[in-house]
Chain A
Amino acid sequence: MSSEIPRIQRVISILWPSFLTSGLATILFFTLFDPVHLLAGTALAELSRLGAYSIGFFCFWGLTILTSGLTCYFSQPCDDNRRRTRGRQDDSLGSAL
């Protein structure tokens, strides 16, 4: 099954949903919390709001990429034999197994 899916679709299925949800998370988080108050008194107190939003977004994106990536990783078949035959043979065998 996975060999039928083009590489670009697999890459996008990790990067893109995570991008969308991290955008949503960024909006919700920074609507509730003003980074100027959060960072007051810390080493990052000088960081501008735009900087804090940006870093926040990429932190969220990193986490959600990890989640999407793990989901894709775990959705592969567990059976070693099955995975090996899939690598060598065409899809008809994979669906027959």
Chain B
Amino acid sequence: MNQTASTPNDREVENALYQKRKKIYPREVHGLFAPRCVLGVFVLLGLYYVIPWVSYEGHQAVLFDLPARKFHIFGLVFWPQDFFYLAMLLVIAALSLFFFTALAGRLWCGYACPQTVWTEAFLWMERKIEGDRPRQMKLDKAPMSLRKFRIKATKHAVWLAFAGWTGFTFVGFFTPIRELGVSLANLSLGPWETFWIIFYSFATYGNAGWLREQVCIYMCPYARFQSAMFDKDTLIISYDEARGEPRGSRKRSDDRAEKGLGDCIDCTLCVQVCPTGIDIRNGLQYQCIGCAACIDACNDVMDKMDYPRGLIRYTTQNRLEGKPVHVLRPRTLVYGLILLALLGGLVYAIATRVPVDLNIHP
């Protein structure tokens, strides 16, 4: 797969030899989809870190106040007897996942899943501190030295600080964050708040810093069953085998028809940018989180070769086979209708809910 790698520069050939290594070093990617992913990271992380600090009518706007057993969401207050609404919300969330998966594949994984979003943030920090992919690999191969220790220590310190802030924010959703901040500054945090801040910080550090794609592969139940929601009209990221094969290296000036080659120059950049380390050219795999990094990487190469873009692209199985594509089909219609009905039901139920249900204990 990698032995004949031929790329715009020699460094990539050298990198291709490391593909079999266990640790995955996703190469930074630029293009059409990468900015959308960055936008997703900014919006979602921004919401996460900012929301607990937003006030509404003199109290924290979103507060799942566990110690007081009531949830505040702006003007609404939910008590334990309102558990029904939470259950309904979870059903709606699950159905939305089904609906969007049937329609557009793993949109959730590639752009919105907290695991992806935090991993992107951690990868960005790693790149800023350790350098790009070849530098990271070189650093890891080098024997321990003062310089290596300094770089690694800086990375982990920055990761831990970010994870600590994440843990603090997380607990701030469940106990008033301003009071929590004051307690932290006075070093008078309660034992359980302290415990959960540390617990969540280490979970973030471990998942986004160390486990990364292994969370998707081994821990995510959705990754295992999402294929059940796929059909031949689901949007997937796919390599156009008919156009790409037979793959092979060539000079930019070579006539590919003359050499009997397809459009794939076998540069393995699509593999190098993949956060889960798969080769999209082997077909749809359950490790693919649909992040579109390989599309950006390949389009870039196609531009350099003066070939048309889209050797790897968002498409559907039907379109690849030259058949018509159906966006509206029984599966999406049924999911969509149930989803609408449940959403309507939830809004109606909350709007007409009797706000007071008193339990008086002597």
Contacts and interface: CB of A to CB of B under 8 A. Distances in A.
Given A48-B190, A50-B190, A12 B219 contact: yes
Nearest to A35: B69
13 contacts: A8-B214, A12-B219, A13-B218, A16-B219, A31-B80, A34-B80, A37-B361, A48-B192, A50-B175, A50-B193, A50-B196, A51-B192, A53-B66
A9 interface: yes
B83 interface: yes
Contacts of B83: 31
Contact of B67 (A9, A32, A50): A50
Main secondary structure of the interface of A (DSSP, over half): helix
Interface of A: 6, 8-9, 12-13, 16, 31-32, 34, 37, 48-51, 53-54
Contacts of A51: 191-192
Contacts of B218: 6, 8-9, 12-13, 16
Contacts of B192: 48, 50-51, 54
B222 interface: no
Contacts of A50: 66-67, 175, 190, 192-193, 196
A39 to B, nearest CB: 14
A49 B67 contact: yes
Interface of B: 66-67, 69, 80, 83, 175, 190-193, 195-196, 214, 218-219, 361
B66 A49 contact: yes
Contacts of A6: 218
A4 to B, nearest CB: 14
Contacts of B67: 48-50
A85 B258 CA distance: 55
Contacts of B80: 31-32, 34
A12 B219 CA distance: 7
B287 to A, nearest CB: 13
Contacts of B66: 49-50, 53
Contacts of B190: 48, 50
Contact of B196 (A12, A34, A54): A54
The 10 A-B pairs with the shortest beta carbon distances in the complex, nearest first, are A50-B192, A9-B218, A12-B218, A31-B83, A31-B80, A49-B67, A51-B192, A16-B219, A54-B192, A50-B67
Given A12-B218, A31-B80, A31-B83, A49 B69 contact: yes
Nearest to B81: A31
Contacts of B193: 50
B115 to A, nearest CB: 13
A48 B189 CA distance: 13
Given A8-B214, A16-B219, A50-B192, 6 more contacts: A9-B218, A16-B218, A48-B192, A49-B66, A54-B195, A54-B196
A46 B80 CA distance: 22
Nearest to B192: A50
A43 to B, nearest CB: 18
A54 B192 CA distance: 8
A48 B195 CA distance: 14
B213 to A, nearest CB: 12
Contacts of B195: 54
Nearest to B196: A54
B90 to A, nearest CB: 10
